Structures are given as C-alpha cells and as structure tokens.
Structure 1
Amino acid sequence: MPIDEKAILNRDAWLEPFLPAIAHRYQLFEKWKNTIQEHEGGYDSFTKGFLKFGFNVNDDASVTYREWAPNAIEAVLIGDFNDWHRTSHPLKKDKSPGVCAIPHDSKLKISMILPSGERIERLPAWIKRVTQDLSVSAVYDARFWNPLPESRYVFKNKAPPKPRSVRIYEAHCRHFEFTADILPRIKALGYNTIQLMAIMEHAYYASFGYQVTSFFAASSRFGTPEDLKELIDTAHGLGLTVLLDVVHSHACKNVLDGLNLFDGTDHLYFHEGSRGRHELWDSRLFNYGSHEVLRFLLSNLRFWIEEYQFDGFRFDGVTSMMYVHHGIGTGFSGGYHEYFGGGVDQEGVIYLMLANDAMHALFPNIITIAEDVSGMPLLSAPTDIGGIGFDYRLSMAIPDKWIKLLKHVADDAWDVGDIVHTLTNRRHLEKSIAYAESHDQALVGDKTIAFWLMDKEMYTNMSKLTEMTTIISRGLALHKMIRLIVHGLGGEGYLNFEGNEFGHPEWLDFPREGNGNSFQYARRQWNVVDDPNLRYKFLNDFDAAMNHLDAQYNWLDSPQAWVSLKHDVDKVVVFERADYRVGIDVAGDYKIVLSSDDKQYGGFENVDVNVTFTTTAMEWNGRKNWLQVYLPPRTCIVLAKV
C-alpha cells in the first residue's frame, strides 16, 4: 500500500521533496510486517514470545524453559532446585525444551559451554523476577516466580477509558508506599494518568532506571510483582491511566546480570563493535534489524500490558534510536535533510513503526509517547499514512527554555514573544506533551524551577508565620504563571514530575558512590505540603485547580491556541483555547474561573474574581470583540463565558 501523500503534505508541505524517502521507509516497514505475517502468523503470535521463551508453567505443573543462545554448544539449567548441578538438567539445541519441576522463588542460571570450551553462566534473558542481596554481592539473582494460586494478585478493576486530555503525573515510586499514600494525592490533584519510571530491573539505582538489565522483570527494590499489580489495579480503580517508562533505546552493558555477551558473542541482541555501543551512555545498542531481537522487544511491550495491565508507554531515548549518531553533537537545525539522510538509522525507525503499529493493533486504547529532541517529522502521525505512529511527542524544548531564562534573565526582561514561540512551535496535527520541568530538573546537578526562583529562602521563609519576602512572593507568582501558560499553550497533554507541583524544597538523589550510597535524598517530602502553616500548599492547590479546570473546559483536547496578544513592554500574553474563548472572538459576559492571585494560592487577592466582564463589539488584535481586565504584575487569569 502506498503512503498517503495528501495526508502527509496536509500536515507539513515542506515534506514534499522527501516523499520518496518516506515512501522507502514505509516499504521497509511493510516488508517487515509481511515477514512477520508470513513466518510468524502476524503480530498476535509474534508478540507472545514470553509464552515460548523463558520459563512457562505447563498444565501438569511442570516447567518449560527455552532460551535463544545460538553460540552455545551445550547449555544446562542450574539452580536451587538441582543444587546447582551442571549436568542434571541439560537443554537440547533446536529440539524440545527442557521440562522439570521448579519450586517457587528458586534461584536460577543458565550454564553454557562455548566453542572455545569456556563455561559461562548467565541470568535467563526472559526472566520475570530478579533480586539483589547488597550485603553479599552487587550481582542479581534470577528467580522463578510462580506463587501458589491463592497468593497471586487478581485484578479487580478495568482500565479507565482512554483520557480525552492527558494530564500526566510522572513518578519514581516505591510500590507499597505509592499505592496507599500517593495515588489518592494524584487523583485529588486532577491528574488522570501516571507515568512510572525505573520499573524495568536495573542494576545501578542512580541511573533512574535507564540502564536496564532484565527487561521482563519488575524492579525488586519496590516490592514483589504482586505489589506492582496491586498498584496498577488500584490506580485503575481511581480512574487513572498507567504508563510505563520503557527503555528500548539501549541496555546495560553488564554481563553477569544483563544481556551483554549473553551467549559469549558480542552480537546476539546488539550490534557488534562500535555500532553496538553508546559512547555517552556506556551501554549496548540493540540490533533492530534482527528477527529475534524484534521478537524480544515487541514481546516485551506486550508482556507489560498483559501481565501488569499497563495502558501504554513513554519510550525513552527515541532520538538515539532513530539516528546512527544518536543525536550526539547534533543540533538538528540544518534542515529537513537531517531527518531523511544518511544520519538516519532506518532499522531503529522501522522498529518504532512496528512497535506502535503492533501495539495499537492489538490494544487500540493504549497510549504511546516519544522522547525525541530532534523534531522528526511524522513522529506522532499514524503508521498507515507513513508516520512513525506515536500518539504524542514530548515538547522537550519547553523545560530547557524555562531553565535558560531562570538562569540568565530577570523576569522583567523576558521576551514574551520568544516564550510564546517556544510554547507553540510544534508540528501541525501532531500531538505533544508539554511540561515546565521533569525529573531531569529535579536531580542533583540541576535545580527545579522552585529552587531557581526562591533558592535558600525556601528553607527560611516558606512558613506563613514569617514575612512574605519579595523573593518568595515573586517565586510563588512565577511558579504558578509558568505552569499555567505551559498547561494552556504548550501542547495537547501536560506532564509534571512528582513533588514539582508544590515546589519541592530539595533535589532528588539516589544511592551512589558519590553520596556514600545514602537514601537521604531518595524521597519526596509530602509533609511540607500537608503542613497548613507552610506556603507549599498554595502551589499544590493551584496545580489542582489548573488540572480540574482543564477537566471542565478541555483546553488540552482543543486545537492549538490562538494568541491574540504578545505585548513585550507590558509583558502580557493573551490567548484563546477550547470551547470558551478568552480574548475575545465570541461576544458576551465573562467571569474569572482561575486567578493565580487568589489567597488560596498564595496571592494577594488584588484581582476581584466576582467581577463580570462584558465584551465590546470592536475589533482588537485581530478578534471581533474586546474586554478590559485588571491584571496585576506576575498574575495569570483564566476567563470563561458565563
């Protein structure tokens, strides 16, 4: 089937010279899709690799184990169940898999002999549970997870409908605390989606989950697989959609507890040589052109949906996947040829097309989000017109803009036109997720927006019992304004990292050599927002009001805003979005439905929210009508038609 050239050019007329390149990419995608259909029975069969490989329990309670390790000339399953005997349970090459009885929670390894005669031992690649005893070793143990039926978690709640406006709460969680304590907070704040980080097992805690060792195992740091299932089920019961931060862009280079050199070769799951290594991340890069690697990765996506009931994925490191240079040293400002020339990794792009196409075909209500800094055209356009198939892309330029401004420019010198350009500079008909800051700004080595605004005074002047200083007043005001303009103008979805909604007073840091493996800062201080005498509550309540207002008026789900005024002298931005207009194209009476200056949000109540504003039938700023509003410094308001 040819690409839909008309649909592509309707999105971006500048793509016309590159239609042949898009068509070629689409042909490669269709070739892979046809191969999967012809040799594997289609997506449904191909993505069930976890039912064929790894450990699977048979109807008679025996266990089948199968592994892909073509370089091994002999392979034996060893573990607690056979006293780690290296000959008692051999695997047969290219024949029926090994079948045996294995107790629940047994430690396991696969022991292999290479053509050189060397014996190596590895954790099974498809293992679903690994644990780590830090008192003994930094290496993980693979475990056979097969609890008794009465101990298995049974899901009680159906996933909520796909959200109309995606409001995402990004979190790094401990399952047992998160389920009981944090999920209700997220619901109350008006978020309808949570995005869970560091779920896939990773050896190095401080990697934030981005150095994955076992792709089918939920991290044991946060509890058992049953704990994670309860978390997701509870979230569904609250009406929250749950996304997994999935890492298919690279893998940890660990050998003993990772995929690296799994069967003794450099090229099993990854490209061999330099192409298979990321020079900045110090990790291994998948060979997306390999049939078995595609089975592994596509099955991995389906596994997290079926086993844990995740509702979709945020794909990490998509830029690295789509380019042979991985985005290193590239500014992506040289023109469209950068998106379709020799720098593009066609295999990586095709994998992403297959992943989106397969998962949306099998699970029509899932959500996929791409983390990409390059601005690749058609990234969040459907595969059936020649796009890569994501539902959303992250607007990664927005947080960079705010940090740059906060570092180098006083707010009374901000260029409002430049800010508006950054917030609205996105590809036509491709949905994006806007965010003012994410986990990157919350980590040690950077500073959150609240820290940039208020710094050390957050420790001394955030009490309502102390004087409202100029720095705190300014900080509270700008924190709210930045969030509202990003929420209202920046995208078709919104994201916040946990704690940033109330201006968390310190950074986030995980146990690592540089801090003596301390857990002191691996936390969020919910106590400060719960204390009625502290001003953090003002920011928290404004965040909630903003989200609940979107739930009422659905601006995120509306077409991109019309900006009718960017006044750089007055530092005023006026824009219209959603069914009820502000600015004003539709005549009538308007009321204020949200003001950052309200006392309940830490403001001074200089704006009277009870006033009704009536339009005047005179053209202004390209709109049919205008109304006059009082707008104090560092204040943002939202108006709705009465």
Structure 2
Amino acid sequence: MKLKIVQEDPWLEDYKEEIHQRWVRFQLAYEALTTKGEGLSSFASGHEYFGINFDKEKQVWIYREWAPEAKALFLIGDFNQWDRNTHPLTRDEWGVWEIVLPYAEYKDRLVHKSLVKVHVVAANGKQDRIPAYIRRVVQDEESKDFSGQIWSPESPFTWEDQNFTPDYTKDGLLIYECHVGMGLEVEAVGTYRAFADEILPKIKNLGYNAIQLMAVMEHPYYGSFGYHVSSFFCPSSRFGTPEDLKYLVNKAHGLGLAVIMDVVHSHAVQNVSEGLNGFDGSDHQYFHAGPRGYHEVWDSKLFDYGKWEVKRFLLSNLKYWLEEFHFDGFRFDGVTSMLYFHHGLTTFDHFEKYFEKDVDWDAITYLQLANALIKEVKPSAISIAEDVSGMPGLCRLPAEGGVGFDYRLAMGVPDFYIKMLKEKKDEEWDILEFWKELSDRRYKEKTIAYAESHDQALVGDKSIAFWLMDKEMYFHMQVGDENIIIDRGIAIHKLLRLFTIGLGGEGYLNFMGNEFGHPEWVDFPREGNNWSYQYARRQWSLAEDKKLKYQYLISWDKSMIAVMKQYHILNAPFADQVHADPENKVIIFTRGPLLFAFSFNPQKAIADYKFRAPSMGQYRLVLNSDDKQFGGFGRIDTSKAYFTDQKQQLSIYMTNRTALVFEKYD
C-alpha cells in the first residue's frame, strides 16, 4: 500500500513498506490506548490519578505513585515532621502505590504550600524523592534542597482569554523565542509577571504573533537553559508561582500573542535527588536500562517510549500544559535524538537512514500519538519539531505516512550562515549556495526558518551580530561614528534576516534581542564567571537609545515583519527564482505578490541594473535596507516608480549589500 508521501515522492518508493508499517504501528498503539472509544485524552489523564490530588466528592487527599520495583513508599513532609515511618503507601498488583488522607483529619496539616517528599525503600537503598507527578517544586535558599509543594490556592485563577484563538492562516507564524529568567535588563533572574508586564508589549509592538517560552518545566540547574528537566508537571518556581505563569499566558493572549511551550520529552536530568532517575530502585522504570538509557553527549537519561506508563506520563504531561496553562502548542526539543538510536550523531546521506537502520520505532509512535493528542485536546494548537536530520514525513499526518507535526525547524540555516561568516570571505560567498540552503525543503511540510536562535547566542559561540562586528560593537555603535566594520555588520545582518523570512519557510523565528543585534553572548551564572548575571539578561535600552545604531536594526526588523504580514508572504507558495547573477552576487525572486532583490556584493553598486521582471507593468519599492532609517546610506530614491521596458526588463539601482522589495501595481 502506497501512502500519500510515497505517491508524491518517487524517491521514497523503495521504503513504502517501512513507511506503511509506521502507520500500522500508530494505529495499533492508538487502538490499544483508546479501547473505550474515549480518545487519547482519557488515557492522557495520568496527572488526575497519579500524584497528590484532592477528591472533592470524598473529601480526601489521595497520593498515588507508580513504582513497580520499590519495596516500600512513605509520604513525608512538614505535615508529619518528615517522619519516614508514619505514612506508608500500599501497593497494588500493577506496582501503583497509594495513600488516602481524610481532609477532616489533615485540614490543618496538609495545606496550601505544605512541603512534601516520598521516602522510597528500594534495591538502591533508602532515599527521599520528589513525587513524579508533583505540580510544584521549590528550593530551600539555604540548603539548596528541592521539595515538592502542595499547590491548592483558595481561589482558582481567573482566565480572560475565552475569545482568543490563534490564527496563522493570514499572517503566518511569527515566533519570538523567549527565556523569562534572562528577559529583563537587570542583573537578576526575571519573573513571569515582570516579563508579562514589561516584555510582552515590546514583542507585540514588533509585530510577532507568537512567543516560544523556554525553560518552563522545572530544572535544578539554571544554566541548563531549561533542557535538563527534573519535574515535568512543574512550572519553574525560580520565576514565580503557577498563577504567575498563568498571568503571563493570559496577558499574552490579551495582546493577541499565542504562547508555545518548549517541551522537553527527549531526555531528563540524571540527578537522583530531584529527578526520575532510579526512582523505584531500578535503572529501567522510566528510562531504558544500561547504556541505551544514557545520552553521553547530554549527560542525561533517555525515556523508554515503548512502555505503557511512560507513554501515559508524557502524554498526560502535554494535556496538562494545554489545559491547565492554556498553552497554544509545543516546540518539541531534541526530536532528532528521539528518532534514532545514534541520536543524530551521524551523516544523513541516504534515505535508508530514515527508515531502516538505527530508527527508534517506539519514539516515532510516541510522537505520532503526541501529535494526535494535541489536536484532540486543543484543535488550534500546533507542534514544532526540532529535527536536523530531515526525516521525510515528519510534518505529514500519520495516515499519509508521517509523524504528525505541523512545522519543522530549519536548523541547517543558522549553521550555514555561521559557517559562511567563519570560513569564507564575503567575496567568496556563492549566492546559488545561499538559494539552495534556504529553498531546499520538503514538499507540503511546513518549515520555520530562522537566522539564529538561542543556540547561536550561547557562550562558546556568537550571535550573527557578534560574528559580524565583534569588539567594534563596544566602541563604534554611536550614531555618527563611521566605521567600516559596523557598516558591513549592520548591512549583512539586515540581508540575512530578510533572506531568511522571505525564502526559508512558512514560519519565522527570532531569539529575543537578536533582532537589534544584541551584543555579546548568553552565559548563565556559574562558578567560572563568579556567578554573574551580566550575560544572562537582555539590554533592551540599547535599542531604545536614539544615540546608538541598534535602533536601526530593530526598526528594520519591525518594518520587515510588517511587510511580511501585509502581503501574507509566509503563507504564499515556494519562491520562484527570477534572476541569478553569481558574478555580481545578485539574486532576485518572487514570493506571493512581492519581488525580492538582493545584492550580497561587498563593494560594487550597479546603476541601471537590468533583469527580466516576472510580468510587464509598474513596480514600486515597499522595503529598502539602504534607507537611512535602517542604518543605510540612502542611495536609492524610494519614491521612484519602476516600469518594465518592451523586453519586460526592469532597471534598478542595485547598491552593494542591499535588499530591495518591490510590489507590482497599476
């Protein structure tokens, strides 16, 4: 049987059976989890059964934990003076432990903000652990020890976003990637509420229609950027309370911004005290046993996606964030690592590597289930895959032979840009290579393009602005201070962003601050920098200071986004190349109703530059990177009308390191 992706791509013909089998495996798994005909949502309600929950009907607290190989469990906390013997749990035949605490008896002891843990007796000894499904974890300021916390405020949060439904069909998906902790300018850890009040309006003003929140799930080490998760159902308490996070999401929705969560289901922190590792005394409860359960590069644990309770845990986690916090979708971190036993640490030079050797079918089935659940729980929600391998069908429905994601990240684009900046002189850049890198993507699989994300800004690497201008940014960013390195940097910074959003996909992403060329790198507090927050913040004042050139870059970003939205470019079909001139480093293409002209030439400005237009008629400029308001030199008359000649040619002034965008009008 040929599924749709095979019908549309003859190169997949040799793998039609493997593609069909991943559809079969999904169907079997779906049927197994939905035997009562209630859909996946019923199965994905583990957080309502496991963990510490209050039964209003019976007026009791119930704590349940899945720990099949544990010998004994005891609930401990400030409610019983941390006594490890007084509150044992009982085990059922499936390895689920339970204790029931009547509200009448514990109403003054087990209360909102009570601290709790579970004492586990197992083959690896006796340890105090944090319940797997706990909803909040806090850290003691003195001992630095983490504990679970009962979170049961008297009044529920009042949502005001009932009329908000994200709609990307008109403008496309424009994502602003954010980290709450480093979102403020002060040298400290930011909070959910401060970010909501101070930063969200800035993002809205720039024209983006979605934010992507990093580091939401609780993680012991701040410097992990939130990717070594310990407690999967806990919003990180270092940024505030669960209500504070809800306040942020609610405010974003009020501003018309969707909120996408950076979810980490690809691995988990190896820590025993804070995480899931060895919870029931074995090395194979939530994770694969032995070496297969350990990621050597990330120093973390790897989930066993074939296990029933692991699927319940992770699927419930997705449902919880969608329903409890009103998130509008997920960016799945580390998808490449999930898809393959080698975790992507290879070269993908043949189709067989996508379908035969070293492919983790359990992980693929889990991701198919996850995407199906997301649409079932919240049909408007989206899912984004962080995959560098280019697996065919990743963003197609399972019934078509796919995995079910809505978008994939164009991870090769920023790597390509950095490679060009590091290894080649401007004179050596090949515009056809640029075109291929940005336009080479799979048919009917939507892509989110980006020039750089948080990865490129981390210590040890540099943002594009810093690669371009480096230390000169410290001395020559004042308006009126002429500097050839800064001029080059500002010009190329603008070109790469427009080239990316205009050509690279159906969505666009920017990491906060990079739109105005934020200097330096991201470096979280650590012993090596004397626990400084100097580089774990965003200096918004740089872009707001009219005496500095950062204003030009943020003005360009805002205008660029506005043009993309006005002409619906991200939802337009693939671009068509109109003209390529490798010698002069000029490339021209159309997408939607717009004509894009780029000159990557480092020196030559060409008057009366002629090329065949896509159609006869009159054209006018709608965006010009050489405009003085964007830090350009103002060499081009933006009010001029452009007419095709009898040969359907347009003549333009193609200045060096310039991007021009035209529209045809009558």
Aligned-residue offset at 1:581: 4.8
Question: Aligned runs of 1:72-151 on 2, under 5 Å?
Answer: 72-94=70-92, 97-100=99-102, 101=106, 102-114=110-122, 118-137=125-144, 139-149=145-155
Contact kept, 8 Å, 1:55 with 1:64, in 2: the verdict is yes
For 1:397, the equivalent position in structure 2 comes to 412
Q: Give distance in 1, aligned partners of 2:572 and 2:54.
A: 48
- Answer whether contact 2:515 2:553 (CA < 8 A) is retained: yes
Q: Does 2:267 align with 1:246?
A: no
1:472 aligned partner, one-letter code: I
The answer as to whether partners of 1:28 and 1:350 remain within 8 angstroms in 2 is yes
Shift of 1:9: 2.9
What is the distance in 2 between the residues matched to 1:282 and 1:415? 39
Compute the displacement of 1:162 (Å): 2.6
Deviates more, 1:581-590 or 1:201-210: 581-590
Q: Say whether residues 1:555 and 2:569 are aligned partners.
A: yes
Separation (CA, whole Å) in 2 of partners of 1:254 and 1:210? 13
1:453 to partner: Cα distance = 0.9
Provide the residue aligned with 2:656 in structure 1. Answer: 633
Residue 63 of structure 1: CA displacement? 1.8
**1:48 partner amino acid:** S
Q: Aligned equivalents of 1:96 and 1:131: distance in 2?
A: 23
Residues 588 and 595, structure 2, Cα contact 8 Å, conserved in 1: no
Decide whether the 8 Å contact of 2:594 with 2:661 is kept in 1. Answer: no
Q: Is the 8 A contact 2:458 2:523 kept in 1?
A: yes
Q: Secondary structure at the match of 1:194?
A: strand
**SS at 1:302 equivalent:** helix
Equivalence for 1:474: 488
Deviations 1:183-218 (A, max 9, x none): 011111111110000111111111111100000001
Q: Which residue of 2 aligns with 1:593?
A: 622
2:165 is the alignment partner of 1:160: yes
Distance in 2 of aligned mates of 1:254 and 1:494? 35
The C-alpha deviation readout for 1:332-386, integer Å capped at 9, x for no partner, is: 12x1001011210111111111111121122211111001111100001112212
Which residue does the alignment assign to 1:310? 327
Partner of 1:453: 468
Residue of structure 2 equivalent to 1:575: 589
1:492 and 2:506 correspond:
yes
Is the 2:60–2:100 Cα contact (8 Å) retained in structure 1? Answer: no
Q: Which residue does the alignment assign to 2:278?
A: 261
Summarize deviations over 1:609-635 as a string: whole Å, max 9, x none.
Answer: 1011122353xxxxxx33111111111
Q: TM-score, normalised by structure 1?
A: 0.95
Distance 2:639 2:179 in 1: 41
Equivalences for residues 19-38 of structure 1 within 5 A: 19-38=16-35
1:115 & 1:77 partners in 2: Cα distance? 19
Name the SS for the 1:320 alignment partner: helix
Partner-residue secondary structure (3-state), 2:661? strand
Deviation at 1:230, TM superposition (A): 0.5
Secondary structure of residue in 1 paired with 2:405: coil
Deviations 1:499-557 (A, max 9, x none): 00000012111112322222221101011111111000100010011111111001111
Give the alignment partner of residue 46 of structure 2, picking from 46, 49, 53: 49
Kindly provide the amino acid, as one letter, of the partner of residue 10 in structure 2: A
- Runs of 5+ consecutive residues of structure 2 not aligned to the other structure: 181-189, 597-611
Match of 1:517 among 511, 520, 531: 531
Deviation at 1:10, TM superposition (A): 4.5
Distance 1:442 1:598 in 2: 28
On the 8 A contact 2:478/2:547 being kept in 1, the answer is yes
Task: Please tell me the residue identity of whatever aligns with 1:170.
Answer: E
CA–CA distance in structure 1, aligned partners of residues 482 and 427 of structure 2 = 20
Which residue in 2 is equivalent to 1:225? 242
| Cα deviation digits, residues 121-166 of structure 1 (max 9, x gap) | 21000011111124322x31111111111xx421112333332200
* Structure 1 position 570, deviation (Å): 1.0
Paired residue type of 1:589: Q
Provide the C-alpha distance between the structure 2 equivalents of 1:367 and 1:587, rounded to a whole number of angstroms.
40
How far off is 1:87 after superposition?
Answer: 3.0
Does structure 2 conserve the Cα–Cα contact (< 8 Å) formed by 1:339 and 1:377? yes
| Separation in 1, partners of 2:404, 2:38 | 22
In structure 1, the partner of 2:385 is: 370
**Superposed CA offset, 1:376-407 (max 9, x none):** 00001112212000111000110011101111
Distance 1:514 1:331 in 2: 34
Distance 1:132 1:40, change over 3 A: farther
- Aligned counterparts of 1:63 and 1:591: Cα–Cα separation in 2: 69
Superposition deviation, residue 96 in structure 1: 6.1
Contact 2:123 2:281 in 1 (8 A): no
Which of residues 313, 321, 325 is equivalent to 1:296?
313
Between the two proteins, the alignment pairs up a number of residues equal to 626
Whether 1:602 and 2:634 are equivalent positions in the alignment is no
- Cα 1:364–1:617, aligned 2, differ >3 Å: closer, same or farther? farther
- 1:233, CA displacement in angstroms? 0.6
- 1:234, 1:528 → 2: CA distance? 25
Taking a change above 3 Å as real, the CA distance of residues 255 and 115 of structure 1, as seen in their structure-2 partners, is closer
Q: Deviations over 1:391-425 (max 9, x none)?
A: 11000110011101111212232100001110011
CA distance in 2, matches of 1:313, 1:403: 27
Q: Distance in 2 between matches of 1:374 and 1:74?
A: 44
User: Separation in 2 of the partners of 1:133 and 1:422?
Assistant: 49
- 2:195 maps to 178
Q: CA contact under 8 A between 1:40 and 1:46: conserved in structure 2?
A: no
1:258-277 per-position Cα deviation (integer Å, ceiling 9, x unaligned) = 00001111110001101111
